[in-house]
Amino acid sequence: MKVKKLHLQLAIGVLALAVLWSFWSIIRGPARPTPLAADAGQTPLLAADRPGPARSTVQRIDPASIQAPPAIEGAAGSSSARDPFLFGDEVREVKEAPIALGAEPVVRSILFSASRRLALIENRIVHVGDQVGDFRVIQIERDAVTFVAPNGERRRVVIKGVVGITSTGAYR
């Protein structure tokens, strides 16, 4: 590629002007307001720029006066029953895996809070009172779920693979 001498001279000239402009703007400091702006009756935008004592323009809001958000418990479900992972008219048939008679359900995870108690059992999210195979969930605790069998027998099933700290400080 061949560069013309005139183009090179112009580029060097523009570069020199840019360097001089930057150097000059650093030396002269920040721009000062002109006397014409003060005479025109313009007011500064920021309160810190106003002469006199500082005034707070922010109104204080009492937290007790803020309305509570609407309850989401029992709110209507999704307006669409469509599966977002399917295209067009595709349909997915979901078959629940049957739990063997007499076998204890496997508790995978528990969500435990003051207002809500859920458990992930056999890849299904269940609440107290839900049916899982032949068992009915009667209690959800922090680390276990209690079921009642059809014959009335109560079974407490601990989360599968619970990791905790022993008294020595080691993980078990």
- pLDDT tens digit string along 6-20? 999 999 999 999 999
- pLDDT: is 131 or 91 the higher one? 131
Output the pLDDT for position 136.
Answer: 92
d(CA 142, CA 140): 7
d(CA 132, CA 146): 12
Chain position carrying tokens 């809500």: 116
Alpha helices per DSSP H over the chain = 5-28, 35-39
DSSP 65: G
Contact 136, 130 (CB under 8 A): yes
pTM of the model: 0.37
Contact 146, 155 (CB under 8 A): yes
Model confidence at 68, in pLDDT bands (50, 70, 90)?
confident
